[in-house]
Amino acid sequence: MARSSLTLQLLLLVACCFVAGASAARPSPSSKDAGDGASSFVRTWCAGTEYPALCDVTLAPYAETVGTSPARLAWAALTVTLGGARNASSAMRSMAARGHLSPVAAEAAGDCVSMLGDGVDALRRSVDAMARVGEQEGRRVEARKVRFEVDNVRTWASAALTDDNMCMEGFKGEAAGGGGAREAVRGHVMGLVHLTANALGIVNAMSKQTPP
């Protein structure tokens, strides 16, 4: 009994020093390299994604906001992805509206617009949910609530990824995809697929750290 309490005290001491060391190592706002710790946090997590270079470039501007919080990193990745989804959605809407498409391509473009719209909704919900998780960080909240939000975000983000891919699938055949339509659609949507895959990867990695 006495022994295990000593072990506990030692553990607490070590944990305490580790935390103190970590916060001491964090750069002060006045330092010229402010945010270095934060940007290496972003790079470390990005290294585990499918498209690390894209992850670095798109999330570097959020390094300060993210700090060393996985929830805020996931929020940032989802926010960037939501921006990409809105862009892709409006690009496809104007492609569909231009009216020079074959009937098959016009139908595929209409399907795309509606699927990308669903994706935008799913990502918006995901951003909101991850913002709630980020706000609750450091407070005593029920782990069950965090688990619930994170599981929902995983579901929504993977549904968005499916929507993006299905949009491009619609232009695979020659009837819809011929005459440059396939390439145009890929140009509008492929970047979004990569952003979504990265965001989902970060959420999945974060989920592994979330207590069940």
Residues binding ligand NAG (CB under 6 A):
80, 83-84, 87
Q: How far is the CB of 134 from ligand NAG (least distance, A)?
A: 20
Q: Give the DSSP letter of residue 142.
A: -
Q: How far is the CB of 179 from ligand NAG (least distance, A)?
A: 25
Q: Residue 90: CB partners within 8 Å, gap ≥ 6?
A: none
Helix ranges restricted to H, 26-142: 36-46, 52-59, 63-66, 70-98, 103-136
Half-sphere exposure of 159 (CA within 13 A, CB side): 17
**In this complex, which beta carbon is closest to ligand NAG, that of residue 52 or of residue 83?**
83
* Cα–Cα distance for residue pair 63/59, rounded to 1 Å: 7
Q: How far is the CB of 81 from ligand NAG (least distance, A)?
A: 7
**In this complex, which beta carbon is closest to ligand NAG, that of residue 46 or of residue 146?**
46
**In this complex, which beta carbon is closest to ligand NAG, that of residue 149 or of residue 164?**
164
Helix axes 143-169, 70-98, angle to 10 degrees: 30
Q: How far is the CB of 148 from ligand NAG (least distance, A)?
A: 28
**In this complex, which beta carbon is closest to ligand NAG, that of residue 77 or of residue 176?**
77
Token representation of residue 57: 């470039």
Q: How far is the CB of 27 from ligand NAG (least distance, A)?
A: 27
**How remote is the C-alpha of 161 from its chain's centroid?**
11
**In this complex, which beta carbon is closest to ligand NAG, that of residue 176 or of residue 199?**
199
